[in-house]
Amino acid sequence: MDMAPISVEELQLATRNHGMPLEALRWPVTPVGLHYLLVHYDVPVVDEEAWRLGVDGEVEAPVELSLDELRALPAHEVVATFECAGNGRARFEPRPVSQPWLQEAVGTGRWRGARLRDVLALARPSERAVEVVFTGLDRGIEGGEEQDYRRSITLASAHEEDVLLAYALNDGPLPPQHGHPLRLLVPGWYGMTNVKWVARITVTAEPFTGYQQARGYRMRTSDDEEGTPVERILPRALMVPPGIPEFMSRDRTLAAGKVTIEGRAWSGHGDVEDVEVSTDGGVTWSSARLEPPDLGRWAWRRWTFAWEAAPGEHELACRARDAAGNEQPLAPAWNVGGYANNAVQRVRVTVS
């Protein structure tokens, strides 16, 4: 793999924020410890007894809720595939300096919690309300600016039925690193929207202009552009690299004969309609067998592809297309923040 050397600062981020090993694509719901992790600042320690969720701003009846009060609201479950907007960043050239993901910043969780709209209904947003801002308990400095981690969604998004304030993951409590005791879940959007360690919800009459909305997570080709917001997840298919890896290079070796290549595919823009596989480095493509969307509309779908592996060197690749007509590119379009690189995965294998 040819790229500019990784700096110690990038390595520092990469050791804190781990990806999902690609062999974990075998699980429909990612075991908690294998789900990718991205934390901008520090993981806060939260005393769940003392913790309260405040809901205020442009509302008629500000409220404070304990975790027990949130658990007493109707519970709703959503299986959602998360992906970091920076997934694929390390493959841009030049490489934007931040968390250097290759392609593994993904995972699927079974999230359970209260619907955001049920919580908002308790506080009754006023007629002036347009957005809802979520403030996490983590604080840091970014772009020279000291800040709490904060993001907003529109009031319309806040009322969608699968938008949750989640207090459980895969039938257990939220682990500290994934937002204990409460996190926002906006299925279909890139990861940054799913604010962890939520302590305050502020309904506003103006669009939110905080750092993570107005400066971070925007597509721009030069620093001085305002850019356009990064929102929904673009389609991606990933395969479990077949065979066995060489320890350092991760190059794969497998025996000649019938091989089932398997993977998962997802999109935040609608159903995945087709997954194609190439066994000749992207020259020719054939459709994989796509399994039904058993986990619901927000989760990845499993696919398989039967390959008759002949001795020699091969480059495998896969790509997905969604119902909105988005298709994965062979080469990524560069941007300053290194966002949304959904170029096709390539896996080199030696068949013996």
Footprint (CB under 6 A) of ligand MTE, residues 140-169: 149
Collapsed DSSP state (helix, strand, coil) of residue 38 = coil
By C-beta, is 39 or 132 nearer to Mo ion?
39
CB of 133 to ligand MTE, least distance (A): 12
Tokens of 29: 């719901």
**Residue of 13, 39, 84, 259 that binds Mo ion (CB under 5 A):** 84
Question: Do the beta carbons of residue 103 and residue 55 sit within 8 Å?
Answer: no
**Per-residue mark of binding to Mo ion, 43-82 (x: CB under 5 A):** ----------------------------------------
**Per-residue mark of binding to Mo ion, 186-215 (x: CB under 5 A):** -----xx-----------------------
Can residue 111 be called a binding residue for ligand MTE (CB under 6 A)? Answer: no
Footprint (CB under 6 A) of ligand MTE, residues 20-39: 35-39
Report the DSSP beta bridge partners of residue 114. Answer: 75, 165
The separation between CA 211 and the C-alpha centre of its own chain, rounded to angstroms, equals: 19
Report the DSSP beta bridge partners of residue 201. Answer: 55, 134
CB atoms within 10 A of CB 224: 7
Parallel/antiparallel/unpaired status of strands 218-219 and 228-229 = antiparallel
**Per-residue mark of binding to ligand MTE, 184-223 (x: CB under 6 A):** -------xx-xxxx--------------------------
* Helix or strand (DSSP H, E) at 15: helix 8-16
By C-beta, is 211 or 305 nearer to ligand MTE?
211
CB of 149 to ligand MTE, least distance (A): 4
| Amino acid (1-letter code) at residue 43 | V
CB of 16 to ligand MTE, least distance (A): 11
Tokens of 184: 């926002």
Parallel/antiparallel/unpaired status of strands 252-254 and 345-351 = parallel
Place of tokens 């204990």: 180
Q: Which does 39 bind (CB under 5 to 8 A by kind): ligand MTE, Mo ion, none?
A: ligand MTE
Provide Rg for the chain, Cα atoms: 21
Question: Do the beta carbons of residue 163 and residue 185 sit within 8 Å?
Answer: yes
Q: Which does 261 bind (CB under 5 to 8 A by kind): ligand MTE, Mo ion, none?
A: none
CB of 211 to ligand MTE, least distance (A): 12
* Helix or strand (DSSP H, E) at 70: helix 67-71
- Give the residues lining the site for Mo ion (CB under 5 A): 38, 84, 191-192
- Give the residues lining the site for ligand MTE (CB under 6 A): 35-40, 82, 84, 136, 138, 149, 178, 191-192, 194-197
